[in-house]
Structure 1
Amino acid sequence: MNVKLLAEVWQQHSGKISGAVIGLSIGILIIVFGFFRTFFILGCAAIGYVIGQRIDEKEDIMDVIDKLLPPGYRR
């Protein structure tokens, strides 16, 4: 296939293609692992994404943990 054609299709339909790939991936995970295990995997991935985003923004990881956990958890 022509690379220029693929690039043009991606530019015009990137959201649809990404959504279809994500939906297919989640469907396969649910079939293989079951709903609740898939939900747990997606939750862990979301938490990892948020932590990674905070690290990319050069925010101190302990500040993030302080915001998430209740006061007095550290001694």
Structure 2
Amino acid sequence: MEKDQLKDKLIQFLYLNRKKIFGTLLGLFVGILILLIGFFKTLLLVITTVIGYYCGLRWNLEEDLKNLIFKVIPEKFK
């Protein structure tokens, strides 16, 4: 098999299995984080990442950031 054919087959394999590969790498990354910094610190990191992603997603959808913050903050702190 030539080098170009092997490269094309590898790219095709990676494309067809991208979700499995992503899930595997994500699981490996979370496992390493748990071993290095502990479960609760890893959990806090995941929670803050998800919150950051959500805020970025809402901001990306052209929603005013000020309105988003006021939706998240409870009434007693406004």
Please give the range of the TM-score, normalised by the shorter of the 2 chains: 0.7 to 0.9
User: Identity of aligned pairs, percent?
Assistant: 32
Moved more, 64-73 or 7-16: 64-73
Alignment partner of 1:33 out of 29, 34, 37: 37
Give the unaligned 5+ runs of structure 1.
Answer: none
What TM-score, normalized by structure 2, do the two folds share? 0.83
Give the unaligned 5+ runs of structure 2.
Answer: none
Which string of whole-angstrom CA distances, capped at 9 and with x for unpartnered residues, describes residues 9-50 of structure 1? Answer: 122111110000000000000000000000001111111111
1:56 aligns with 2:60: yes
The equivalent residue for 1:17 is 21
Alpha-carbon shift at residue 64 of structure 1 (Å): 1.1
Q: Distance in 1 between matches of 2:47 and 2:76?
A: 26
The equivalent residue for 2:74 is 70
What TM-score, normalized by structure 1, do the two folds share? 0.85
* Count of equivalent residues: 74
